[in-house]
Each structure stands twice: as structure tokens, then as C-alpha cells.
Structure 1
């Protein structure tokens, strides 16, 4: 019997960061895999920490297509918002290419909108708002393209559990085991509703005890510090510029212009894709 083939694409969220098992990460996608079918499931995780939409399109997608998957998850975009090169039109075009190629091969595509990193990190308003605006733009694109390609889309950005500190790991950006299980459970429920998941749903309760405070602090002081340093080298100078612009507009009472500018950029990005509308079977 041919196993159902499930492939995960994306960044550290799908790689499983925050849900350690032994010396490796497990994560929501691995938890979901066991409940997709009554029979065997072949799960391949191609997600890589730090990946952006370009990485998924150029590196992960070809490897995924070669595996001829039945189900593919594509959760990516947060790292794009953390870069000085952020361009919503480029993000939209890349996601359109990824979703279209997978849907064109007959795969069920799983997508999700995600919370903004500034809010998760508890950044001050002037620093958090520009990141929130970028993440909303990415989520709007993901919503629209998920509809276009009939993806199974999970609305997570504003769900109540997102605000529960117990769901998150020490770095406040990645779910802990409990949070990864929530993602897996919610995807399983959506898939089961459509008759696309026939196995047993993953358990909601963690299998392992939560890391101690000292273990969490050690992680932050070692791996977590390195993670932040790599991103700050690229993001911090521009984030400060964005914060100054944000503050200037607030003082002048013209903050609405920033929202309008972002909305216009998202509309233009989606309009550009609609001009050369892809057929679902285009690769």
C-alpha cells in the first residue's frame, strides 16, 4: 500500500523549533503527520530555520515536487517581514508560484496566517507597529492566494490561544510543545472536516514536561542570542528608520497614511498576479 506523502515547507515554525525531542526538533507538522491517515504516512520536513519565501520557492519547492506529495504545508513569511529587503509584491509573486505549482500537481496545500513578531516579542509600539503592518500585509496575501488555490487555511493570527504565554517557548517567537500541538490539532480538525484526515488527532496535552526556567534562560543566552544577532544585523538599522517614520507620523496625526500605503501595496501585488492569472494546473 502506497503511504500518504506529507511534506512540510517553510521556516523554523515548521522545522519544529520550540518542541525538542532528544537532540532534534519535532514540531506541529510531525505531530499532524501521524493523524493524516489510518494507514502509513511518509513525512518529509524540508522546512529550515530562517527561510524566507525566496528559499521556499527556489530550494524547498523543487525538492517537494520530486517527492510527489499528497499533502503539503507552506507556512512562511515572518522572516521576510524581518528583512530590510521586504517587498510585499515579491512575497506575493513567490507564494503564488509555490501554491500554484503544488496545487497543479494535485496536492492538498495547507496554509496559515501568523501573528506578528513585534507583538510576540513585546516590542515598544513604534517598533512593533511597522512589523505588525508588514505581517498583516503578508496575511492578507496568504488569505487571498489560499482562496485562489483552494488551500486548507488555518486562521491563527488572532485566535485566543495565541495570547496564552503557556503556548510559547522561551524566545516568545516559537511555540512550545503545547503550542505546536494546538497547531497540529487545528489543522487536523480542518482536514477531518473535509474528509482529508482519517487518522487519530494528536493529543492536546504535552508529552514532555515544560523546560525549567534555568533551561529556558540558558537557551536564550546561547542559541536564542545567536538567532537574534543574525537578524538584528539586517533588520535593526531599518527597523529604527521605520520607527522614526512611525513616530513622525503619529506626532503629525498622519499615521493612517502608513496603513493606506500598505493597503495600496497589497492591492497592487494581488492585482499584478490577477493580470496573468494562473490556471490551477500551471507549474
Structure 2
């Protein structure tokens, strides 16, 4: 397998349709697709290289262009990653993004829907088979108290609803990662509780491979599900949380925490006056409906 990164390609890909040329696989998104949580030889690996190894047969290579960057928003994927991915002329392209949008005060579900639609449309027009995934909400994964978790849950449900609708529109190979099988199995997740560990990344790769095989699009050996490296020790996990994990919280807090506290205050006020979460749920549902109408009606 040939790997390409943001620094540029190491092998010129063959023209589309060349039977004996490499399979070109473009990966767009954030830390989930960059491979955070699965460190091998000092660098992030993740599910995409594991999947890439199991795509071709008959001596063909997979050329992997991983454009995913930790912290990326839907705007970053649309404005910066999409043009490079389209120019790469991929046979296969994954687009998984949205969690970071839910962690920003500027969250706008309609803008996110338009960006994802543009990214998927351009990649589909370039001839790529598309991979998408919905994801669990970060509040649940972090075990936040309800007043803090509920606003994030609403946002992630809206993102997932948009992803589902667009996946149907473009006939993507879609992987559901928001169900209880994923969120409740802590062996799949790294110490930060937001990114898959090696076992989780292997599960993502294996499940995508299974779905691609069912469509006749993957012909190589499926990725192994069991980790090849020992899991982090408790000391290593605590060290991560005390260093990199603390830094993550501080970076997010400058942007998210003030608004999240306001959202939590709104939750508490509705509980106190007896209206519960219904008005806030209705407001989120209305925004989602408007986003879907505006995007899917084009």
C-alpha cells in the first residue's frame, strides 16, 4: 500500500478505469479518520490504512490519501479537503465529520448539511464510491451530567440525521456507530473516551470491509479485529488524561464551555418551570427539519 499525506503524494496514481492500476482511496474528516487513539511506532494509524490493505487483489496496490486532520470542522472538509480529494480522482472516498461542529458555539445544522452535501456531490461526480458513518454524541461518551449532555446529544442526533439523509441520497456505504453496541463497549475506546482505541479502529475497518465486500467492492483479506499491540496500561491512560487530555479540555473550553453552560442553564430553567425538555427538543427538531428541507430540496 502506498500512503499519501497532507505533505503530498509519493506515487502518481493510474488513470481511472485502468484494470491493473492502484485503487485510490481518499479519506476526509477529523481525528476519527486521522487515526487518533491507535498509535503505531509513534504515529497515528487508525481504521483507514487497515481497511486499505484489504481492498485489492491480484497484486494491485491501494494508494491512500488521508486528508483527515484532528479538530477539523465541516467547513474545513468542504473548503480544504474536498478540492484535494476531487483532484486525486479517488475510486473510494470516506467522509466522516461533524462531532467537532457540535462542540462549537457556532454550530449551525443547516450550514453543516449544505457543506456535507457539496462534498459528497463533488466526490460522487468524480466517480468515487462513498463511505459515511454516524457517530455517538460526545456528552454520552464522556459521561457528562444531563444538563450538559442533553444539548450535545441533540446536536449529534441532528448531525446523524443529516448524514443518514445524505447517505441515502448518494447511496453511500454507511456504518452505524451511534448504537449501544458501540457506546457501551469501553474496550473499543481509547483513554479519552472520544476516539476509538486500536480495537475500535480495527472494528471500524472490519465493518467497512464487510459492507464493501457485500457490494463486491472489497476483494482482499478482511482486517483482523483483535489488537496486535498491548492496550495502554492504567498508568499510561492516566498520564494521557493528565497531559494531552487536559490540553484537549482546555482548548475546547475556550470555545465551547461558555455556551455549553448557557445551554445547561436553559435546560435547568425548563426543568424548574415544569416544561421539561420538550421546548428545546422542538426547537432542535425544527432546525433539523429546515436544514433537511433546504438541502434535500435542491
What is the TM-score of this pair, normalised by structure 2?
A: 0.91
- What is the count of residue pairs matched by the alignment? 276
1: CA distance, partners of 2:282 / 2:111: 19
2:189 to 138, 161, 168: 168
Q: What is the Cα deviation at residue 156 of structure 1?
A: 1.2
Residue 92 of structure 2: aligned partner: 71
C-alpha deviations, 1:88-118, integer Å up to 9, x for none? 0111010011011111111011000100000
2:139 to 97, 106, 118: 118
Partner of 2:38: 19
**Which residue matches 2:8?**
none
Q: Which residue in the other structure is 1:280 paired with?
A: none
1:253 and 1:152 mapped to 2: Cα distance?
43
The residue number in structure 2 matching 1:37 is 56
What CA deviation, in whole Å up to 9, does each residue of 1:150-208 have, x standing for no partner?
11111110141331111111111011000111111111111111111111110010010
- Two-structure CA RMSD over aligned residues (Å): 0.9
TM-superposed deviation, 1:261: 1.1
- Residue 236 of structure 1 corresponds to 257
Aligned residue number for residue 192 of structure 1: 213
- TM score, norm. by length of structure 1: 0.96
> Aligned with 1:42: secondary structure?
strand
Deviations 1:123-146 (A, max 9, x none): 001000000000000000000011
Show the counterpart of 1:256: 278
Contact 2:89 2:127 in 1 (8 A): no
- Segments of 5+ residues of structure 2 without an aligned counterpart are 1-19
Query: The residue matched to 1:73 in structure 2 has which SS?
Result: strand
Specify the alignment match of 1:281 in structure 2.
none
Structure 1, 161-170 or 40-49: larger mean CA deviation = 161-170
Q: Bigger relative contact order, structure 1 or 2, given CA contacts below 8 A and separation 6+? A: 1
Secondary structure of the structure 2 residue equivalent to 1:172: coil
Q: Note closer, same or farther for the CA distance 1:195–1:159 as it changes in structure 2 (3 Å cut).
A: farther
1:178 to 199, 202, 205: 199
Please state whether the residue corresponding to 2:28 is helix, strand or coil: strand
Match of 2:247 among 211, 226, 244: 226
Instruction: Give every structure 1 segment of 4 or more consecutive aligned residues whose post-TM-superposition deviation is greater than 4 Å.
Output: none
Q: Which consecutive residues of structure 1, in runs of 5 or more, have no partner in the other structure?
A: 278-283
Which residue does 1:55 correspond to in 2?
76
Instruction: Please say if 1:140 is aligned against 2:164.
Output: no
Which residue number corresponds to residue 5 of structure 2? none
